C-alpha cells in the first residue's frame, strides 16, 4: 500500500514538473523581442526620433524602393526588403506595406535590435541589440563601410 502511494506521489510530481516546463516554454516565447517600429521608440526618445526623421535617409528609404517597384518583378522587389525595411524575415519583422506599415523603413531597430521588450519596460537591459560594425555590414557591404569611414558615421545622421 505504501509503495503504491509513493508511486502516485511520484506521478503527481512528474505531472507538476511537466506543467512547469510548459509554463517556462511559454514565458520564454513571450520574452522573445519583436519589432515595434521607430514611432513607438519616439514616444520616449523624442529627440532621437525627431533627428532621425529629419536627418537620416533611412527614415524615408521605402519611398526609394517603391519608386522602382514597377520596373521589378514581385520577387526582385521583395529582395529589397532585407535592407530597405525593418526586420524583414525575422520574428515580428516587415512583411508588407499593408500588414506592417510601421516597419516600412529601416528604423531605430535595424541598429538597436528588436525593441518590444524594452519599449514595454523602459529598461535598457531589455534591449537585445549592441551596435557594432557587424550590425551595419548586414546591409552596408564591408567595402562600402570602410569607404565612408565607420567610426564618425556610427550614428548615421540618426541623432
Residues forming contacts to ligand HEC in the complex (CB under 6 A) are: 36, 38, 40-45, 48-49, 52, 56-58, 61, 64-65, 68, 72, 76, 79-80, 82-84, 106-112, 115, 118-119, 122, 124, 127, 131, 135-136, 138-140, 144, 148, 153-159
| Closest chain position to ligand HEC (CB) | 115
Cell 570602410, residue located: 146
Cell readout for 34 is 519583436
Cell 535617409, residue located: 57
Based on CB atoms, which residue is closest to ligand HEC, 99 or 123?
A: 123
CB of residue 28 vs ligand HEC: minimum separation in angstroms? 20
Query: Are the CB atoms for 61 and 157 separated by under 8 Å?
Result: no
Based on CB atoms, which residue is closest to ligand HEC, 14 or 121?
A: 121
> How far is Cα of residue 152 from the mean position of the Cα atoms in its chain?
24
CB of residue 158 vs ligand HEC: minimum separation in angstroms? 4
> How far is Cα of residue 55 from the mean position of the Cα atoms in its chain?
22
CA distances from 107 to 20, 27, 81, 131, 147 (A): 38, 27, 12, 13, 23
CB of residue 148 vs ligand HEC: minimum separation in angstroms? 6
Amino acid at each position: 500500500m505504501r509503495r503504491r502511494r509513493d508511486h502516485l506521489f511520484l506521478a503527481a510530481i512528474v505531472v507538476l514538473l511537466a506543467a512547469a516546463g510548459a509554463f517556462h516554454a511559454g514565458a520564454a516565447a513571450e520574452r522573445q523581442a519583436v519589432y515595434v517600429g521607430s514611432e513607438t521608440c519616439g514616444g520616449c526618445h523624442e529627440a532621437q526620433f525627431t533627428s532621425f526623421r529629419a536627418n537620416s535617409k533611412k527614415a524615408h528609404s521605402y519611398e526609394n524602393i517603391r519608386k522602382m517597384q514597377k520596373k521589378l518583378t514581385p520577387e526582385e522587389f521583395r529582395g529589397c526588403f532585407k535592407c530597405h525595411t525593418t526586420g524583414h524575415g525575422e520574428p515580428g519583422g516587415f512583411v508588407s506595406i499593408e500588414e506592417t506599415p510601421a516597419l516600412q523603413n529601416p528604423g531605430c531597430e535595424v541598429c538597436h535590435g528588436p525593441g518590444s521588450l524594452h519599449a514595454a519596460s523602459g529598461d535598457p537591459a531589455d534591449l537585445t541589440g549592441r551596435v557594432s560594425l557587424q550590425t551595419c555590414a548586414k546591409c552596408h557591404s564591408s567595402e562600402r563601410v570602410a569607404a565612408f569611414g565607420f567610426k564618425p558615421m556610427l550614428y548615421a545622421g540618426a541623432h
